[in-house]
Amino acid sequence: MNAATKATLAPMLNGTATLFFAMAGLAFFFGGGLISAITQAERLLGEVEGMGLTVLLAAIGLIAKMVATRLEGDDGFVSLSDSLRK
> Residue 58's domain spans which residues?
3-71
- pLDDT single digits (tens) 2-24: 777 778 888 898 999 999 999 99
Binning pLDDT at 50, 70 and 90, where does residue 57 land?
very high
For residues 86 and 63, the answer to whether their CB atoms sit within 8 Å is no
Q: What is the pLDDT of residue 78?
A: 60
- pLDDT single digits (tens) 65-75: 998 888 887 65
Residue 81 lies in a domain: no
Considering its fold, how many domains does the chain have in total? 1
pTM of the model: 0.74
Q: What is the pLDDT of residue 61?
A: 94
Residue 78 lies in a domain: no
Distance CA 74, CA 22 (A): 27
Residue 63 lies in a domain: yes
Q: What is the pLDDT of residue 79?
A: 66
Residue 76 has pLDDT above 70, yes or no: no
Residue 84 lies in a domain: no
